[in-house]
Structure 1
Amino acid sequence: MSFFQNAAKVFNKAVTPLLSAPVVGDRLAKSMAVISYTGRRTGKTFSTPVNYQKRDDDSLIIGVMMPDSKTWWRNFYPDPAPITVAIGDTARTGTAVAQRDEKRGVRVKVTFEA
């Protein structure tokens, strides 16, 4: 595991409980969520905090920073897969699909179920 992956693991463990804490959680929920998904190869359920870029009633866009050093988004590339997104005290299910752009950036679009 690389230095970056170790640092991200420590950061994720510290941030995840803060997202549901009073006062702090409300502020963080304006740009952060916890996603849960099932790994395509392992079949295990994973949860990780993410920073989202855009949110409306029907969808959410997650920009993946440094995508080549992360693996979670590959569960949604190139085919869509189920996902749960928790923002504050509200969790919603939907379908996510990752897309690469011409500059090798990655965005994950989540479309929520009605």
Structure 2
Amino acid sequence: MKRTLPRRMVGRVNACVLSLRSSPRWGRIVSRRLTVVTYTGRRSGKTFSTPVGYKLDGDTATIGVQLPDAKSWWRNFTGDGGPLTLHLDGVERPGHAVARRDGRGRVTVTVRLAEPAAGPRQD
């Protein structure tokens, strides 16, 4: 039997995580391990944002999907993958993500980050 978390509970947890990320006291600490992924759904065409844990190594971010069978966001990046953005150090970083499931059922999303978009020049 497949069990999923109630949508209301997930929304509350996500809101709490996002509050911690923007907190003056805890934001810097929390942002070292948590980011916000923004992507467009393959079928719906809608834009979604969700907080995720990540590890950064140069221009590659690795996201280990916890409870992957209870979540669907990572499925947008199976096969050849797709575009997304990660909010890192106060900047939206575009990238290309590919999701892979290993033989034990664990899912990892690997994101190759592009350079951040150049902001307005300040002379």
Q: TM-score, normalised by structure 2?
A: 0.84
1:37–1:82 contact (8 Å) kept in structure 2 = yes
Which one-letter code corresponds to 2:40 in the other structure?
T
4+ long deviations beyond 3 Å: 1-6
Write the distance in 2 (CA, Å) between the matches of 1:91 and 1:23.
Answer: 22
Identity %: 42
Unmatched segments (≥5 aa) in structure 1: none
Corresponding position of 2:97: 96
Cα shift at 1:87 = 2.4
Q: Structure 1, residues 56-103: CA drift from partner, whole Å, max 9, x if none?
A: 221100000110000000010122100100024122000001000000
Task: Rate the CA distance shift 1:69–1:79 in 2: closer, same or farther, 3 A.
Answer: same
2:10 pairs with 8, 11, 15, which one? 8
Q: Which residue is 2:112 aligned to?
A: 111
For the Cα contact (< 8 Å) 2:37–2:49, is it kept in 1? yes
Contact 1:35 1:86 in 2 (8 A): yes
Unaligned runs of 5+ in 2: 116-123
Highest RCO, 1 vs 2 (Cα 8 Å, sep ≥ 6): 1
Instruction: Provide the aligned length of Structure 1 versus Structure 2.
Output: 113
1:34 and 2:36 matched: yes
Q: TM-score, normalised by structure 1?
A: 0.90
Superposed CA RMSD:
1.6
CA contact 1:85–1:91 (8 Å) conserved in 2? yes
Does 2:19 correspond to 1:21? no
On the 8 A contact 2:5/2:70 being kept in 1, the answer is no
SS at match of 1:102: coil
Q: Secondary structure at the match of 2:22?
A: coil
SS in 2 for 1:42: coil
